[in-house]
Amino acid sequence: MEVYGVALNSRLMLGTAQYPSPAVLQAAFEASGAAVATVSLRRESTGGEGQAFWSMIQALGVRVLPNTAGCQSAKEAITTALMAREVFDTDWIKLEVIGHNDTLQPDVFGLVEAAAELSAQGFKVFPYCTEDLIVGEKLLAAGCEVLMPWGAPIGSGRGLNNVHGLTRMRHEFASIPLVVDAGIGVPSHAAQAMELGFDAVLLNTAVARAGDPVAMAQAFGASVTAGRMAFEAVPIEAADTGSASTPVLGKAFLS
């Protein structure tokens, strides 16, 4: 996968929050093979603990993608992104502007506004958005070179709520890197996203809060690989009737 001119050796992006311990986080990343770690400025800003956390993330040897998690306005998201660029020394930013407290659905108006401003300031913006085609067009016009539509509400584990909408988005933006972000609960959800032709998936809670985060991380790594392989192999089309795989020629009786 290539995004913003950077080649990534995995199509799995993994969050760094909610793990039971730093050791489990590190082991989960190693088991998953993920190429990108999303990190929150809020975590990094907690004094000495934050510095130790940042040192551990650096030791993982993966690409760091700071996020603006929890921001509820364009102004707040822009300020957080500017701070994150200084702290993490990267112009990559996962842009979140939350508009609804219960579903954590993006505020697409604030999102487009913030994306335009951050792109103008040299950021490589990864916008957490809905599967709305118009929103996608406006984000691309604002300077984004990747789109990250949600599968379902953040942390819900519901999988892909709107397969039709996501499929339409994939067809509409055929040449744009698309990452399913949020709502993934089990490896089959990730595989389904990849089978639809998405370029990557980003998840956190499904691994961090699993009974065995390391084993789950490994499972997700395998599912992303399998799903992409299936997409590239061109799956058969679904049918409403059965079709025998064994020919009738040679049967003892034909009726």
Residues labelled as active-site residues: 94
Q: At what angle do helices 213-232 and 22-32 cross, to 10 degrees?
A: 20
Cβ proximity of 160 and 151 under 8 Å: yes
> For residue 201, what are the β-bridge partners?
12, 180
**DSSP letter string over the chain?**
-EETTEE-S-SEEEE-SS-S-HHHHHHHHHHHT-SEEEEEHHHHTSHHHHHHHHHHHHHTTSEEEEE-TT--SHHHHHHHHHHHHHHH--SEEEE--B--TTT--B-HHHHHHHHHHHHHTT-EEEEEE-S-HHHHHHHHHTT-S-BEE-SSSTT-----S-HHHHHHHHHHTTTS-BEEES---SHHHHHHHHHTT-SEEEESHHHHTSSSHHHHHHHHHHHHHHHHHHHHT-PPPP-SS---SS-STT-S---
Which two tokens mark 171?
């067809």
- 233 Cβ neighbours under 8 A, 6+ residues apart: none
Tokens 């009737």 found at: 241
